[in-house]
Amino acid sequence: MAYTTEKIRNICLLGHGGDGKTSLVESLLYMTGNTDRLGKIADGTTVCDYDPEEIKRKISIQTTLVTLETQGYKLNILDTPGYFDFAGEVAQALRVAGCGLIVVSAKDGVNVGTEKAWRMVRGKKLPSFFYVSKIDEENANFDNVYENLRGQFGNSVAPFVFPFFEEGNRPAGVINIVTRKAYKAENGKIVEVQLPKEKMDKVDRLRDSLVESVATNSEEMMEKYFAGEEFTEEELIHGLHQGVLEGAITPVCCGSAFTGVGSLQLIKTLIDYAPIPYEGLTEHGVDENGEETEVKFDENGKPLAIVFKTIADQYGRFSFFKVVSGKITADMQLKNQRTGTMEKMGHIYTVNGKKNTEVKEVCCGDFAAVSKLVDTKTGDTLADPSVNITLDGIDFAEPCYSQAITPKVKGTEDKLAAGLNKLRDEDPAFIVQNNTETHQMVISGAGDIHLDVICSKLKSKFGVEVDLQDPKVPYREKIRKSVSVEGKHKKQSGGHGQYGHVKMTFEPYAEGDYLFEERTFGGSVPKNFHPAVDKGIKEAMEHGVLAGYPLVGLHAILTDGSYHDVDSNELSFKMAARLAYKAGIPQANPCILEPMGMMKVYVPDSCMGDVIGDLNKRRGRILGMNPTEGGEQEVVAEVPMAEVGSYAITLRSITQGRGWFTYKFERYEEAPPAVQQKVIEESKFVDTEE
Q: Give pLDDT tens digits for 157-210.
A: 999 999 988 776 677 899 999 999 999 988 778 898 999 888 899 999 999 888
Phi-psi region of 260 (alpha: psi -120 to 50; beta: other; left: phi over 0): left
**Do the domains 401-469 and 7-279 match in fold?**
no
CATH of domain 477-589: 3.30.230.10
- pLDDT higher than 60, residue 687: no
Domain chopping of the chain, boundaries: 7-279, 283-391, 401-469, 477-589, 592-681
How does residue 417 score in pLDDT terms, banded at 50, 70 and 90?
very high
Give per-residue pLDDT as tens, 572-619: 999 999 999 999 999 999 999 999 999 999 999 889 999 999 999 999
What percent of the chain is modeled with pLDDT above 70? 98
CA torsion through residues 109, 110, 113, 118, sign: positive
Residue 231: its pLDDT value, please?
85
- pLDDT higher than 50, residue 688: no
- pLDDT higher than 60, residue 38: yes
- pLDDT higher than 80, residue 410: yes
Q: Which of 1-10, 126-135, 637-646 has the lowest mean pLDDT?
A: 1-10
**Interior angle at CA 262, CA 257 and CA 266, nearest 5:** 105
- pLDDT higher than 70, residue 140: yes
Q: Rounded to 10 degrees, what is the CA torsion of 16, 18, 22, 28?
A: -90
Residue 624: its pLDDT value, please?
93
Higher-confidence residue of 359 and 233: namely: 359
Biggest CA–CA distance in the chain, Å, is 118
Q: Per-residue pLDDT averaged across 84-103, rounded?
A: 95
Q: Is the pTM of this model over 0.85?
A: yes
Residues in the chain: 690
Q: Per-residue pLDDT averaged across 99-108, rounded?
A: 95
Give strand pairing partners of 664: 598
Nearest alpha carbon to residue 207 among 189, 181, 169:
181
| CB-based contact 64:50 (threshold 8 Å) | yes
CATH of domain 283-391: 2.40.30.10
Residue 686: its pLDDT value, please?
53
DSSP string, 334-384: EEETTT--EEEE-SEEEEETTEEEEESEE-TT-EEEEE--SS--TT-EEE-
Residues 6+ apart with CB under 8 A from 50: 64, 353, 354
The pairing of beta strand 250-254 with beta strand 128-133: parallel
Q: What DSSP element (H or E) covers 120?
A: helix 112-123
- pLDDT higher than 50, residue 690: no
| CB-based contact 48:88 (threshold 8 Å) | no
Q: What 8-state DSSP symbol labels residue 246?
A: T
Query: Phi and psi for 530 in degrees, rounded to 5?
Result: -60, -45
What is the distance in angstroms between the CA of the first residue and the CA of the last residue of the chain? 66
CATH 3.40.50.300 for domain 592-681: no
Residue 97: its pLDDT value, please?
96
| CB-based contact 518:530 (threshold 8 Å) | yes
- pLDDT higher than 80, residue 463: yes
CATH of domain 7-279: 3.40.50.300
The 3-class secondary structure across 460-489, one letter per residue, is HHHCCCEEEECCCCCCEEECCCCEEEEEEE
Q: Which CATH architecture has domain 401-469?
A: 2-Layer Sandwich (3.30)
Residue spans of beta strands (DSSP E) within 520-606: 554-562, 591-603
Residue 584: its pLDDT value, please?
95
- Helix crossing, 413-426 with 448-462: angle to 10°? 120
DSSP string, 588-629: S--EEEEEEEEEEEEE-GGGHHHHHHHHHHTT-EEEEEEE-T
Residue 319: its pLDDT value, please?
94
Give per-residue pLDDT as tens, 291-350: 999 998 889 999 999 999 999 766 678 999 999 999 999 999 999 999 999 999 989 999
Nearest alpha carbon to residue 443 among 475, 425, 464, 420:
420
The pairing of beta strand 99-105 with beta strand 128-133: parallel
- What is the identity of the amino acid at 511? E
Residue 212: its pLDDT value, please?
87
- pLDDT higher than 90, residue 522: no
- pLDDT higher than 80, residue 372: yes
Q: Over the chain, what is the mean pLDDT?
A: 91
